[in-house]
Amino acid sequence: MIEIQSTKNTYVKELKKLHRKKGREEQQRYLLEGFHLVEEALRSEATVVDILISPRGAKEWASWIAEQTVPMTYISEEVMEAISEQPTPQGILAVVSFPKPKKMTLQGKWLLLDCVQDPGNVGTMIRTADAAGFTGVFLGEGTADIYNLKTLRSMQGSHFHIEIQQGDVEQVCQAFQAAAIPVYGSELNEQAVPYNTIKKTEQVAIIMGNEGQGVSKALLSKTDANLYIPIYGKAESLNVGVAAGILMYHFS
């Protein structure tokens, strides 16, 4: 068994570039940390290019490792610490290819994200969309990257379960409306429609917006209706991930 021991190794240098969006886009792949997510990736349709294992990981998952047929690379703890973005790496990392672009399914239930900035919020919303039985999540421009470490951590593998698409939110809204699927914006405005008065439908598209600014005015003007979640206390607003959960479960 050969173990990479130098953080200056060319392959290691390439992997470290995956910490940044630019590097991920150039190489068309991303890093996935931790045993649970690596297992999820292997069970999914995703292409796992390589699994990186440190001595700690090799010891911890010895019997599991023996059963795998994917390529594996052994690296020293020092190299693992250089590649991992966790304070205390578990000792196992997967290098996963970007999925091939697929035609978007223009039916069912969709969550559309308009400039949601926090990776934790984006990941949580994708996880919730999965739990709520949604068809997919559409990440509009200005939304946090799906392959950011924090997004991946809070998403808990849900990007392997539901459809993820990216692009222009306004265009996709037009496509939903052309397909007679209602598009609802979300708004912190008592003039908007209380969400619980809206009839549940089999097909729906719900737009969630930026943490500070909300959904852009331009988009709100083109929806079928804009929903709001009543605030009964003195809080100014809800966390966007919590709000998305309440709205999605209303349609589940």
Contact (Cβ atoms closer than 8 angstroms) between residue 11 and residue 5: no
Rule CB under 8 A: say whether 249 interacts with its own copies. Answer: yes
Among 54, 124, 223, 226, binds its own copies (CB under 8 A): 124
Stretch that binds its own copies, among 6-14, 96-104, 129-137, 201-209 (CB under 8 A): 129-137
Comparing CB distances to its own copies, the nearer of 92 and 243 is: 243
Rule CB under 8 A: say whether 131 interacts with its own copies. Answer: yes
- Spatial distance between the Cα atoms of 158 and 151, rounded to a whole number of angstroms: 11
Comparing CB distances to its own copies, the nearer of 52 and 139 is: 139
Rule CB under 8 A: say whether 87 interacts with its own copies. Answer: no
Nearest Cα residue to 208 out of 150, 134, 149: 134
Rule CB under 8 A: say whether 235 interacts with its own copies. Answer: yes
- Spatial distance between the Cα atoms of 111 and 21, rounded to a whole number of angstroms: 23
State the Rg of the chain over Cα: 20
Comparing CB distances to its own copies, the nearer of 91 and 241 is: 241
Rule CB under 8 A: say whether 236 interacts with its own copies. Answer: yes
Q: Is 162 helix (H, G, I), strand (E, B) or coil?
A: coil
- Spatial distance between the Cα atoms of 120 and 149, rounded to a whole number of angstroms: 9
Tokens for 183, please give them.
């598009």
Shortest distance, position 154 Cβ to its own copies, whole Å: 7
Comparing CB distances to its own copies, the nearer of 55 and 99 is: 99
DSSP secondary structure, 104-132, as one string: ---SSEEEEESS---HHHHHHHHHHHHHT
Contact (Cβ atoms closer than 8 angstroms) between residue 7 and residue 78: yes
Rule CB under 8 A: say whether 233 interacts with its own copies. Answer: yes
Comparing CB distances to its own copies, the nearer of 54 and 154 is: 154
| Interface residue list for its own copies (CB under 8 A) | 120, 124, 127-134, 154, 156, 158, 161-162, 229-239, 241-246, 249, 252
